[in-house]
Amino acid sequence: MKLKQLAITLSVALATVAGGLAHAQDIKPRLIRFGYGLNEDSNQGRATKLFAQEVEKASGGKMKVRAIGAAALGSDVQMQQALIGGAQEMMVGSTATLVGITKEMAIWDTPFLFNNAQEADVVLDGPVGQKVMDKLQDKGLVGLVYWENGFRNLTNNKRAVAKLEDLDGIKLRVMQNNVFIDSFKTLGANAVPLPFSELFTALETKTVDGQENPYNTILSSKFYEVQKYLTVTNHVYSPWIVTVSKKWWDQLSKDEQKVLMDAAVKSRDFERKDTRAEADKALADLKGKGMQINQLSPAEANRMREKLTSVNAGIAANVGEDLWKETQAAVAKARGG
Ligand code: TF8
């Protein structure tokens, strides 16, 4: 009896393997132009490289990823348009830069939505994250996975920001996104939307006084060369999202799509670990590079938090009350509440 069961199990397993192999041949030679905005030597660059390797491995070398960093293919917004038009196959960029295309993406720009990265993982990889991602399909994009950009912190060249009023009149570059513009206007700064690809020069030429990004990016983009003060604000968690041109995706076989999806999941898991390890020691690195770093007092952090709640109603109206409530519920659940 036992032996017979084993035989059945084995033959089922063999059939599956054989079926899998025969099936796996539906892969054609493909060239994938994969664009991103940061330097090759950044968390974004490292994870893109891993994605490329995984795709090549899983496709037996048939699918080749040409990774093109430093916004050489354009800013996030320009690349999104290239994907929609079918002139470029893939990219990774900020969800915040997608809000003009898919308004629901603005949910991730809610200040202080997540308290920590684990909450972000649960919500982004759960049903709410999927639902928001699926909204891209009507607009000509397919979202595969969310990567971590990270908790954003403030840098500037004017003064150490120790209290809310210190932001008054600071010309602060923000992403091209209404929630970010509103948030920083609310805090008293002069918010200037600019593509990331123009940011270093804007800081260097003093077109703007400051910017906000995760530690990793402040390091990899060498903002410490042109910024003196860093204030730990953690005002919002930014995801990145890996997207594919839907025009191109729809031409792929199921096997080719699976190769991309599996590699995307591997890249996500790698990227989050890598980003967190780098972020853990980044403050010390930035101090070493000469940045002056300060923490907001708990009272000041609270004042900032309180002020920013006034942008929430606008976000809820934009993304829809249902999505707003679902997201709040998902966060509460992730928090164990
Ligand atoms: C920003 C974002 C950047 C992304 C990147 C270029 O400040 O944080 O990390 O847009 O894809 O623009």
* Residue from 160, 154, 170 nearest 214 by CA: 154
Q: Distance from the CA of 64 to the center of ligand 1, in angstroms?
A: 25
Place of tokens 């209404």: 178
Pocket test for ligand 1, best of 34, 40, 76 (most atoms within 8 A of CB): 76
**Tokens matching residue 82:** 């290239």
113-159 pLDDT, tens digit each: 999 999 999 999 999 999 999 999 999 999 999 999 999 999 999 99
Q: Which of 18-32, 86-100, 151-165 has the lowest mean pLDDT?
A: 18-32
Mean of pLDDT over the chain: 94
The answer to whether the CB of 280 falls within 8 A of the CB of 150 is no
Between CA 175 and CA 286 the distance in angstroms is: 22
Residue 92: in which H helix or E strand, if any? strand 90-94
| Residue ranges around ligand 1 (CB below 6 Å) | 37-38, 76, 93-94, 97, 149, 175, 196, 213, 217, 238
Which residue has its alpha carbon closest to ligand 1 atom 2?
94
Cα angle 208, 37, 271 (rounded to 5 degrees) comes to 120
User: Binning pLDDT at 50, 70 and 90, where does residue 202 land?
Assistant: very high
**Tokens matching residue 139:** 């607009």
ipTM: 0.98
The answer to whether the CB of 96 falls within 8 A of the CB of 64 is no
Specify the pLDDT at position 313.
96
Q: Distance from the CA of 284 to the center of ligand 1, in angstroms?
A: 22
Beta bridge partners of 214: none
Nearest atom of ligand 1 to the alpha carbon of 217 = 9
Given a cut of 90, whether residue 25 has pLDDT beyond it is no
Place of tokens 């000041």: 300
Pocket test for ligand 1, best of 44, 79, 94 (most atoms within 8 A of CB): 94
Specify the pLDDT at position 155.
98
Nearest atom of ligand 1 to the alpha carbon of 175 = 12
287-337 pLDDT, tens digit each: 999 999 999 999 999 999 999 999 999 999 999 999 999 999 999 999 986
Rounded to whole angstroms, the maximal C-alpha distance in the chain is 81
